[in-house]
Amino acid sequence: MTVMRDLIRAFGLLLLGVCAAFAGPPRRDSRSHEVARVERAAEVVNEIMRASDKGIPGGLLEKAECVAVIPGLTKGGFAVGGDYGKGVVMCRRGANGWTPPAFITIGGGSFGFQLGFEKVDLVALIMNHHGMEQLLGDKFTIGADVSAAAGPVGRTTSAETDIKMDAEILTYSRTKGIFGGVALDGTVVKPDRKANRTFYRKNEPVEAQEILDVKGNMPMPPEAAPLEAALSREPVKD
């Protein structure tokens, strides 16, 4: 009996070990990737706006209807241009701050220059209502569905003299410490519905229209407060 009991116990321990091996390590919060994307977007905005001589002109940021941030976008190489990245976008609610973040992906097209395979932080200012409407659709192409231009850089840059004011989207990139306007014609922007559903802990799809509704009442997730503060150029209150 003792031998049989030991065999049963050993088999049970072996079975537990096999189950644990297949189960893998303990799962992290299922929202961890989406939360990290929002947090990194806030860091990108803060780092850019802290630049003393170069950055997005404050007047343009204040006029933007929406702001999209794609941290760590992957650029193509010398032979094959292209880009792919995941980011977030928030729209202005007037004096009431910003909407919660909606998740987006971008891909295709190419930059106005290629520096080999590398990571790039991208910021896009959506300057009018038509550009904002494009964000609420299924997808749109920069330069085709909306007019776009490389954004001007500098705290005292005059937007009226340095860029065409009919541009609906102004785009910027930062890589290896270099920040400036960049052309993104041909790049396709799509909603990241899976990320929206995961981040907001919904069982059903969450559309961009619901999240970016400037007259809506969707609450700001606490993880997005630093990004809202960065876009408002205000410190986060404890």
Helix (H) or strand (E) holding 83: strand 83-91
Residue ranges of the chain whose pLDDT lies below 70: 1-29, 52-53, 74-83, 109-118, 155-165, 177, 234-238
CB within 8 Å of 113: residues ≥ 6 apart: 182
* pLDDT, position 161: 42
pLDDT score recorded for residue 237: 47
**Strand segments (E) across the chain:** 66-75, 83-91, 102-107, 119-126, 140-141, 148-150, 169-175, 178-181, 188-191
> In angstroms, what is the C-alpha Rg of the chain?
22
Phi-psi region of 230 (alpha: psi -120 to 50; beta: other; left: phi over 0): alpha
pLDDT tens, position by position, 65-87: 999 999 987 665 433 445 678 99
Dist CA 62 CA 92 (whole Å): 9
Place of tokens 């929406």: 66
What's phi and psi for 125, nearest 5 deg? -100, 125
Structure tokens at 205: 């799809």
- Which residue, 31, 75, 51, is CA-closest to 177? 51
Token pair for 127: 């300057």
Global pTM reads: 0.78
32-49 vs 225-232: helix crossing angle, rounded to 10: 20
Position 47 scores a pLDDT of 87
| Residue extents of the structural domains in the chain | 32-232
